[in-house]
Amino acid sequence: MTSSSSTPPPQDHPAETADPWWRRRRLVGAAGLSLVAVVVGTSVLVTRDPDGGAPPTTAVPGASVGGDWMSGASGPGVVEGDFAEWRGSPVEIAGTWSDNTEAMTELWQLQPGAEYADWQKPMDLAIGAIGEGETWAEAAAGAYDARWTATLEEAREVWAGREGQLYLRFAHESNGNWYPWAVDASEKDDFIAAWRHFRELQQAVMPEAELVFCLNRESVETGFDWRESFPGAEYVDVLGVDYYNHYPYVDTAEEWQESLLATDRYGAPKGLQGYADFAASVGLPLAVPEWSGVADQGDSPVFVESMNDYFAQHGGTGPGQVLYEILFDVDNEDYDGNFLLYGATKMPESAAAYQRRWAG
């Protein structure tokens, strides 16, 4: 989703037909890695095949790993501290969007006098990728280097001297059909090439930033398994998934458990554990840069409590562990309060559950 443009909020949808409100997403596998997977109960032990040339590693993403995670929010009250006071604990990371071809080079909300001018903690910044009428093939060939370089140079300038880590969420939710940078089966190779090219620019201009490969929990009209568009672990610092409570809507503990290992119509992970398993298999931590309940679907404290349980059980910096999560608490005329927990919420039970679980 985005708070800086008029794009409707992308969502999962039970059918692949595009609807202006509820849409879908998806992902693809680890390029160039030979993997061996062994199923042990509900856990998956994933190791890289030594014959593939990668150093062998082992992860048990389905097991309780413990550890901490950075917890954050986006929306009103984050900078002022009102949101932290409401939930009873500090906001450790913020999320914001500069996700169109103009906003990405200006980064207005980070400029002097703007909303995040003095923000010193970590930040997840969604910067889009390409615009209407532009293509991933052109991007791979360097057609948008000037804009991408300007974006990175501006990020380096406005973030200079700040204490927190900057996470750049480039081409977020590319496995949907609602952004100009959407990727379908015919474009996945060009997308990988373009992503790797952007990585080269990022490493040259702002190597201190971390690059987040972030998907929507389910793909829409892509025609392929999202893992096939993964550019390779050496080109990514964090795997991310935006995760909202719908399709399937979770209202009970049993439904939560069923959702964790769900897959989409292409066979790709769409459950949270499936994303964690994939992140572990490629040696990356997991982030959930956007998540919330969905009032149009219902008011489910179980979903909120289960997300908290998952973060607490799987938080950490290692492969497959949850590095950070950010509650999407943004509203505008299109959203009509559909995702809000803080303030004028339509999900009072979920809001109360959030306050209970996130209180320090």
Residues of the chain below pLDDT 50: 3-66
Q: What pLDDT score was predicted for residue 352?
A: 98
Q: Is 321 inside any structural domain?
A: yes
- Number of domains the chain is built from: 1
Model pLDDT for residues 161-185, shown as the tens digit of each residue: 999 999 999 999 999 999 999 999 9
Model pLDDT for residues 8-38, shown as the tens digit of each residue: 334 433 333 333 222 222 222 223 332 333 3
Active-site pick, 173, 210, 218, 325? 173
Closest CA to 11 of 1, 2, 3, 282: 1
Q: Is 12 inside any structural domain?
A: no
Q: Is 316 inside any structural domain?
A: yes
CA distance 307 to 325: 10
CATH number of the domain that 249 lies in?
A: 3.20.20.80
Domain that holds residue 141: 28-358
Q: What pLDDT score was predicted for residue 2?
A: 56
Does this model's pTM top 0.75? yes
Structure tokens at 325: 């999560």
Report CA-CA distances (Å) from 161 to 15, 150, 158, 164, 269: 47, 19, 9, 9, 38
Q: Is 180 inside any structural domain?
A: yes
Q: What pLDDT score was predicted for residue 46?
A: 31
Q: What pLDDT score was predicted for residue 333?
A: 86
Q: Is 103 inside any structural domain?
A: yes
- Residue 173 annotated to the active site: yes
CA distance 40 to 60: 9
Active-site pick, 92, 218, 228, 290? 290
Q: What pLDDT score was predicted for residue 150?
A: 98
Q: What pLDDT score was predicted for residue 247?
A: 86
Q: Is 13 inside any structural domain?
A: no
Q: Is 14 inside any structural domain?
A: no
Q: Is 54 inside any structural domain?
A: yes
Cβ neighbour number for residue 36 with a 10 Å cutoff: 14
